[in-house]
A and B are shown apart, each in its own frame.
Chain A
């Protein structure tokens, strides 16, 4: 069963197997840290690398408060906020469900919406949950240098009942689609690891290379059984994962179907120089997907080679199609839930390598090779409909993918076969959703809601207080081609200080979560008990032993939407101030004028003045004009008394004009 040169190792493992019952209690009492890396070539010439670090602290009751490996910050966090489960993810880029898979455990657990997503389950009475959540967001915000504290406001988080996770209780969910993710978020995350990024697998995390990728999701998952309500006392488990999709080799080759060859050093720019000494186990896996394996088998058959599945998996690391640069220490086969053939995991033990003999796994493709990845039962997209600043609607379309239906729980041939789809959607309050306008179309035919909706929970938004929440369980016929949901909304008006300071791009509607509870993502490793010692694989297998909860359903996130809201003209307040001041000035001016004016007296003075004026043509014309303006008949000046006022005035004007002209002339020079 095992390769000859690994006999020593195998013996060790076997002995482990025998001593499980005895060793178990001893192991549980220790703090543990494991590091693993999964590499997987993707069908569209990219490589998925999934780092998985797990730290485990034994229960406080038996172990006490002091830890050697487990990060203190997280321990405090768990105890202070009484967290039963929590997940925080920072993501950049979008997971491509069509090309990178939508059915396997990694895509269901580690494909996250862009930005920050946080959910947590608290072990406190219901009325305290919100307060604990608010404190938690502030602490996390400080811990990870991110604006998670924006999730404090009650308009940004919601309390899903059953649509997001089957695990109900005091769950809170919030997401910030606009949060930019960068190194400053990664550094604190790395600080939680015992070896940081100085040794072990995490030393591979060269910043330029991992942020250059097409998808980058850094995640922190906490499970604790510290508190009284948990049945099984297994301490705190901290899982830190980093999922990166990278493109090996930027140069495009002429052949579109030729997979690029890569090695760890070509992807990350570094090699693995031994394990983190504090880690209990340290391994690298290379996964060949089941579809690729069956494709390989077919090709072998065509070429007339002997096909024995056992033999093949042993020899598969070097075959006419691809070749690994290092022989794997162990080969595991995992049968997947939805496919006949099994995917293959090549395992490499890192403890053998050191600085002098570094580990640089390479994969060389020898001939063109095409396969496809396992896809979710329905592919979901979400988009906005309508235009203009007043109304619109959100549409979610579900389209069937080429899935092997045989492996579903129910029998598909029956008419009564139903496919259950859960939709969880949170909408900010300024997008006012009219829930009664929900329409469902199945195969382009409108359906009565009562026929398709199995369960529905709606909590409408309250202005400036809480977001709208919709949880919907649909039961759709199994043989559907497409389904669509539309729901209308109108756009609200924000208060002036709720707008971003500058003219903005629009406002975001966070991703909806689509899950398929009748499908479970898992890989099954038959006759392979040692898997339970490898947290990554056991997580993929999702046995009830490790995860204390049900196997996770197939889950996918939809796109983030951008809603342009009416942006008022922000210069308007200024205009209003100006016009108000003008009106006030006019009002008070005229009021004062009326109060202090003595009309009769003024007219007498005017007449006297007019009497004193010298009559010349211009002044007569002017006085005629002003009289017209005043609306009085013009009275000719009575007594022409000569005075020097007019020439004086003229002189003054000429002098001023000359000064101005001179000034102009000299200043222009």
Chain B
């Protein structure tokens, strides 16, 4: 013992601290987990108010110039569009022609952009890349074409290096009054900007034909803008679609109107993009409201300054009520209300001690902030863009969607003009502000969560919770490993007294390599999980099948392949010998390390996914312990541990998690078996890294934990 003591004495303090933490891993992990959850709950309190960080933006420094003349012209366009949509059922191409004519009359350069519906295919080899542009699908029907109308205003004195993009989506097959007025807003801005002299950046107005969804037209326009094809496209179009009615009409339109360019019109590098959408909610709200959507694919966000200027201008100049998405169901949560009351109480106490300490906040504000934060976190974690702005982020362009909903009906002329004026002035002021920008958007945050339109949590604060969550993982892994080794060595000491036991382990030096077996089984599971991740690609190719049947096929294939792998490569249970009772501990240690590595990697790709994933995985991994041990013990503590193990494993099973969340958020009636499959399909269709995370980090970790639970010793 004196030898060990002297070794300890000679150790450096940092090593001693490490040893101390490892030896008290249980307390450390409990403290860390509780602290992490507390930190998460305190995030709305720690949120800071937003501020416009880039001075060059100068929002609201100029008076808006949008006048009644432009708005009444825009109203004429709205009326014309409405008349067209009443005239015929499928007014598609006529609306595009109408918009093009209006644009051309303003002196803008106009072109049509024809695109086809793109089947979002899961392409396992090009996961993070966009799909290969050379692949042309020939067997598509001719009706699956949409036509975008693109107008470009060249800045009179600008050098044309940069452009600002305005997008107004409309459904050409069934346009309603709200979409028509979003076209109206777009037109009023466009007609104003075609006359002004202060423009430094070109303006592109994209009237996106959203008959195949809002995202597809914008994404395909951006793809053609950035990676055009120079060969072969024309022939394919001509060869496939002779009979297409729309296309012929389009060609007629192109030929007849000389003002409309036959080639793709371009401007320079895009500085920012605004998607303007009008939604008629028929709500009881007494004000015009503006909802901001910002989440792009894989949790990427536009620069916070863009949201700041929109929020500033909407609130302080146009008097709109600004909202961001939130989970409404969380507003009634009793738990959150309780936490909010506690926070309020603490805040009051702190204020009574020192009036300068202002960290408390009212209950309602806290609950609302939490609901918004949860929605923000969830949307980022999902990795699916919340609107057409997501397409821009893939090309490093900052973009947001402004969804404006009017207080009154859009049917009456007076209210409509008033509404167009407000919406138009807001967009004009934002364009003016972005136009002032000499540099790229760089000054403000890119990694943040919103708790209200004017409050945010920056990365420096919200990563504390994640760091606290994953901190115990390596500690626990180390402690399990060292424990197992120590017990092993003590066992072998005992065993050395009995000569026949040593025959089992001929070479004592091999003992330190014991973890290799556990690592092999972990590797087998990970290998299986990557196979399973690729399986949906083949299942989706199968002709028949509802989503429920696909899900069942997938699950059965998973189980089948798991057992197949076990028989080929050996299961974790195959090497169990009585002399190694701590086998499960080693397995758990390796599992925990693998989970740690997976979470760290994921936090780089999509932080929100990693954070939510860590909330599920970390407790499950930390508690996991063979059920057999617990059941042998029959103590109260062991029983509780077994029960919590079982519930955690049940909750963390991906389909179960999904159904629970969905039931919790949307109510239990909406849940059906196929939902999970559909959800997975959307994930891979949007190239979301969350899918990879579920398949390659979460699922193997869950299976390994299950293995530990079912471990014979």
Q: List A residues at the B interface (Cβ < 8 Å).
A: 44, 92-94, 96, 114-115, 177, 212-214, 216, 250, 252, 256, 381, 383-388, 395, 397, 399, 439, 441, 444-446, 482, 484, 486, 502-506, 508, 559-562, 564, 567, 628-633, 664, 668
B9 at the interface (CB under 8 A from A): yes
Contact B230 A633 (CB under 8 A): no
9 contacts between A and B (CB under 8 A): A92-B157, A94-B160, A114-B160, A441-B231, A444-B230, A486-B230, A562-B268, A630-B8, A631-B20
B19 at the interface (CB under 8 A from A): yes
Contact B234 A444 (CB under 8 A): yes
Apart from A502-B439, A629-B13, what 4 extra A-B contacts exist at CB < 8 Å? Answer: A387-B395, A387-B396, A444-B231, A560-B161
Neighbour of A444 across the interface among B8, B233, B356, CB < 8 A: B233
Neighbour of B228 across the interface among A93, A212, A214, A385, CB < 8 A: A385
**Contacts A385-B228, A444-B232, A503-B440: A668 and B356 contacting too (C-beta < 8 A)?**
yes
Contact B269 A212 (CB under 8 A): no
B226 at the interface (CB under 8 A from A): yes
Contact B439 A668 (CB under 8 A): no
The interface size of chain B toward A, counting residues with CB under 8 Å, comes to 45
**Contacts A385-B227, A502-B439, A503-B439: A562 and B232 contacting too (C-beta < 8 A)?**
no
**Contacts A177-B159, A561-B268: A505 and B9 contacting too (C-beta < 8 A)?**
no
B195 at the interface (CB under 8 A from A): yes
Contact B8 A632 (CB under 8 A): yes
A-contact 0/1 string along B124-141, CB 8 Å cutoff: 000000000000000000
The 9 closest A-B pairs by CB, nearest first: A631-B8, A562-B161, A114-B159, A441-B230, A387-B395, A503-B442, A484-B230, A631-B16, A214-B156
Cα–Cα distance between A403 and B20 once the two chains are bound (Å): 86
Contact B227 A386 (CB under 8 A): yes
B512 at the interface (CB under 8 A from A): no
Q: Which residues of B contact A562 (CB under 8 A)?
A: 161-162, 268-269
Identify which of residues 255-284 in chain B touch chain A, using a CB-to-CB cut-off of 8 Å: 263, 266, 268-269
B352 to chain A, nearest CB (A): 12
Neighbour of A630 across the interface among B16, B231, B235, CB < 8 A: B16
Cα–Cα distance between A560 and B162 once the two chains are bound (Å): 10
**Contacts A482-B263, A628-B20, A668-B356: A252 and B159 contacting too (C-beta < 8 A)?**
no
**Contacts A388-B396, A505-B439, A506-B440: A668 and B161 contacting too (C-beta < 8 A)?**
no
A-contact 0/1 string along B350-363, CB 8 Å cutoff: 00001110000000
Cα–Cα distance between A385 and B223 once the two chains are bound (Å): 10
Q: Which residues of A contact B230 (CB under 8 A)?
A: 395, 439, 441, 444, 446, 484, 486
B90 at the interface (CB under 8 A from A): no
Nearest neighbor of A399 in chain B, beta-carbon distance: B263
A113 to chain B, nearest CB (A): 9
* Main SS at interface, chain B: loop
Contact B263 A397 (CB under 8 A): yes
Contact B159 A631 (CB under 8 A): no
B580 at the interface (CB under 8 A from A): no
Q: Which residues of B contact A256 (CB under 8 A)?
A: 105
Q: Which residues of B contact A439 (CB under 8 A)?
A: 230
B37 to chain A, nearest CB (A): 26
Cα–Cα distance between A423 and B487 once the two chains are bound (Å): 79
Contact B354 A668 (CB under 8 A): yes
Contact B269 A384 (CB under 8 A): yes
**Contacts A115-B159, A256-B105, A484-B230: A631 and B440 contacting too (C-beta < 8 A)?**
no
**Contacts A250-B195, A506-B440, A629-B17: A381 and B269 contacting too (C-beta < 8 A)?**
no
Q: Which residues of B contact A445 (CB under 8 A)?
A: 231
A-contact 0/1 string along B49-90, CB 8 Å cutoff: 000000000000000000000000000000000000000000
A-contact 0/1 string along B407-445, CB 8 Å cutoff: 000000000000000000000000000000011101100
Identify which of residues 1-45 in chain B touch chain A, using a CB-to-CB cut-off of 8 Å: 5, 8-9, 11, 13, 16-17, 19-20
Cα–Cα distance between A168 and B16 once the two chains are bound (Å): 78
Q: Which residues of A contact B396 (CB under 8 A)?
A: 387-388, 564
Cα–Cα distance between A94 and B234 once the two chains are bound (Å): 31
Q: Which residues of A contact B438 (CB under 8 A)?
A: 505
A146 to chain B, nearest CB (A): 16
A115 to chain B, nearest CB (A): 7
**Contacts A93-B156, A441-B231, A505-B439: A631 and B269 contacting too (C-beta < 8 A)?**
no
A600 to chain B, nearest CB (A): 11
Q: Which residues of B contact A252 (CB under 8 A)?
A: 195
Q: Which residues of A contact B11 (CB under 8 A)?
A: 631
B154 at the interface (CB under 8 A from A): yes
Q: Which residues of B contact A384 (CB under 8 A)?
A: 269
Contact A212 B160 (CB under 8 A): no
Identify which of residues 162-186 in chain B touch chain A, using a CB-to-CB cut-off of 8 Å: 162
Q: List B residues at the A interface (Cβ < 8 Å).
A: 5, 8-9, 11, 13, 16-17, 19-20, 105, 107, 154, 156-162, 195, 197, 226-228, 230-235, 263, 266, 268-269, 354-356, 394-396, 438-440, 442-443
Contact A387 B226 (CB under 8 A): yes
Cα–Cα distance between A250 and B197 once the two chains are bound (Å): 10
Q: Which residues of B contact A482 (CB under 8 A)?
A: 263
Q: Which residues of A contact B442 (CB under 8 A)?
A: 503, 567
Contact A381 B231 (CB under 8 A): no
Neighbour of B159 across the interface among A399, A502, A504, A560, CB < 8 A: A560
**Contacts A397-B263, A559-B268: A632 and B395 contacting too (C-beta < 8 A)?**
no
Candidate in A503, A508, A560 with the most chain B CB atoms within 10 angstroms? A503
Contact B161 A508 (CB under 8 A): yes
Contact A93 B439 (CB under 8 A): no
Cα–Cα distance between A490 and B452 once the two chains are bound (Å): 41
Contact B268 A214 (CB under 8 A): no
B249 to chain A, nearest CB (A): 22
Contact A385 B355 (CB under 8 A): no
Contact B231 A564 (CB under 8 A): no
Contact A668 B159 (CB under 8 A): no
Contact A44 B107 (CB under 8 A): yes
Contact B228 A395 (CB under 8 A): yes
Contact B231 A385 (CB under 8 A): no
B445 to chain A, nearest CB (A): 14
A134 to chain B, nearest CB (A): 26
Q: Which residues of A contact B354 (CB under 8 A)?
A: 664, 668
Cα–Cα distance between A632 and B159 once the two chains are bound (Å): 73
Nearest neighbor of B227 in chain A, beta-carbon distance: A385
Q: Which residues of B contact A486 (CB under 8 A)?
A: 230
Cα–Cα distance between A93 and B268 once the two chains are bound (Å): 14
Contact B439 A385 (CB under 8 A): no
**Contacts A256-B105, A628-B20, A633-B5: A93 and B158 contacting too (C-beta < 8 A)?**
yes
Q: Which residues of B contact A633 (CB under 8 A)?
A: 5
Contact A386 B226 (CB under 8 A): yes
Q: Which residues of A contact B16 (CB under 8 A)?
A: 629-631
Cα–Cα distance between A384 and B268 once the two chains are bound (Å): 8
Q: Which residues of B contact A381 (CB under 8 A)?
A: 266
Neighbour of A631 across the interface among B9, B107, B154, B266, CB < 8 A: B9
Q: Which residues of B contact A115 (CB under 8 A)?
A: 159
Cα–Cα distance between A218 and B696 once the two chains are bound (Å): 64
B305 to chain A, nearest CB (A): 12
Nearest neighbor of A397 in chain B, beta-carbon distance: B263
B13 to chain A, nearest CB (A): 8
Cα–Cα distance between A484 and B233 once the two chains are bound (Å): 14
Q: Which residues of B contact A484 (CB under 8 A)?
A: 230
B610 to chain A, nearest CB (A): 23
Candidate in B263, B269, B355, B396 with the most chain A CB atoms within 10 angstroms? B269
Cα–Cα distance between A508 and B162 once the two chains are bound (Å): 11
Contact B231 A383 (CB under 8 A): no
A354 to chain B, nearest CB (A): 35
Contact A93 B5 (CB under 8 A): no
Candidate in A216, A383, A484 with the most chain B CB atoms within 10 angstroms? A383
Nearest neighbor of B19 in chain A, beta-carbon distance: A631
